[in-house]
Amino acid sequence: ETGVTQSPTHLIKTRGQQVTLRCSSQSGHNTVSWYQQALGQGPQFIFQYYREEENGRGNFPPRFSGLQFPNYSSELNVNALELDDSALYLCASSSRGPGLGEAFFGQGTRLTVV
């Protein structure tokens, strides 16, 4: 086990609703990244938080937003849910710095939008 925990594990929401997903980082890690993984695809980078600031963003609209807390845990918020938002959402924690690149992933939250 990686020590990265995500909640909830599964979630069903209706189109147009809002959702908040949560992630607890591995102890000692100061960086959290979020990824969206559609079925049969690789994870797609959403954004990264380092020291409570957004530090890099992938090609996702502003309705995807996040927070990182002083204890390095994090939230992903998605507003105005669309059917295409149905996916596995992965959180990964890591330590920032050269040569410290490996990411430790949680088990993911499976979001279904109906």
Partner 1 sequence: SQKIEQNSEALNIQEGKTATLTCNYTNYSPAYLQWYRQDPGRGPVFLLLIRENEKEKRKERLKVTFDTTLKQSLFHITASQPADSATYLCALDPQTGANNLFFGTGTRLTVIP
- Which of 19, 76, 90, 111 binds partner 1 (CB under 8 A)? It is 90
H-helix segments, 1-114: none
The nearer residue to partner 1, 8 or 56, going by C-beta atoms, is 56
Instruction: Give the residue carrying structure tokens 């990182």.
Output: 68
CB count in 10 Å sphere of residue 21: 22
Contact 70, 87 (CB under 8 A): no
Tell me the C-alpha distance between 47 and 39, whole Å.
Answer: 20
The reply on whether position 103 binds partner 1 by CB under 8 A is yes
Tell me the C-alpha distance between 103 and 106, whole Å.
Answer: 10
- Which of 21, 108, 111, 113 binds partner 1 (CB under 8 A)? It is 108
**CA distances from residue 42 to 63, 87, 89, 103 in whole angstroms, order as listed:** 22, 11, 11, 15
Question: Binding segment for partner 1 among 12-20, 28-36, 60-68, 78-86 (CB under 8 A)?
Answer: 28-36
- Which of 79, 82, 96, 114 binds partner 1 (CB under 8 A)? It is 96
The reply on whether position 5 binds partner 1 by CB under 8 A is no
The reply on whether position 7 binds partner 1 by CB under 8 A is no
Chain residues in the site for partner 1 (CB under 8 A): 2, 4, 31, 33, 35, 40-45, 48, 55-56, 58, 90, 92, 94, 96-108
